[in-house]
Amino acid sequence: MARTARVKMEAEELAWFCEQIALVQKSGIGIQDGVALLVDSTDDTRQQDILKKLDHELKAMVPLSAAMKSAGGFPAYLVHMSEIGELSGNLDSVMTNLSDFYQRDAELRRRVRSALIYPLVLLVMMAAVIVLLIARVLPVFNEILSAFGASMPPVSLALMNAGLFIGRNIWWLVPLAIFLIVIVMIWVRKGRGRVWLEKFKTNAPFVGSIYKQIYAARFSLALSYLISSGIDLDTSLNMTEDMLDNQLIRDRIVDCRAQINQGRDPFDALQETDLFPKIFAKMLSLGSRTGNLDQVMAKIARTYESDVRHKLSRLTSLVEPVLVIILSLIVAVILLTVMLPLINIMSSVG
Question: CB–CB of 86/65 below 8 Å?
Answer: yes
- Whether the pLDDT of residue 119 is over 50: the answer is yes
Angle between helices 247-261 and 191-203 (to 10 degrees): 90
CA within 13 Å, CB half, 302: 8
pLDDT at 226: 76
- Tell me how far apart the alpha carbons of residues 17 and 51 are, in angstroms, rounded to a whole number: 9
- Tell me how far apart the alpha carbons of residues 19 and 120 are, in angstroms, rounded to a whole number: 34
- Tell me how far apart the alpha carbons of residues 198 and 195 are, in angstroms, rounded to a whole number: 5
- Whether the pLDDT of residue 338 is over 60: the answer is yes
Continuous H helices in the chain: 11-27, 31-41, 45-58, 64-71, 76-88, 91-132, 138-147, 154-168, 170-189, 191-203, 208-228, 233-241, 247-261, 266-271, 278-290, 293-349
pLDDT at 242: 66
User: Is 224 buried (19+), middle (13-18) or exposed (0-12) by CB count in 10 A?
Assistant: buried
Identify the three-state secondary structure at position 5: strand
Q: Model-level pTM?
A: 0.66
- Whether the pLDDT of residue 27 is over 80: the answer is yes
Q: Choose the weakest-confidence range: 76-85, 225-234, 260-269.
A: 225-234
Where do the CATH 1.20.81.30 domains begin and end in the chain? 104-350
Instruction: Fill in the DSSP letter of residue 94.
Output: H
| Dihedral over alpha carbons 77, 80, 82, 85 (to 10 degrees) | -120
Residue 74 CB coordination number (10 Å): 21
43 or 16, greater pLDDT? 16
For domain 104-350, the CATH architecture is Up-down Bundle (1.20)
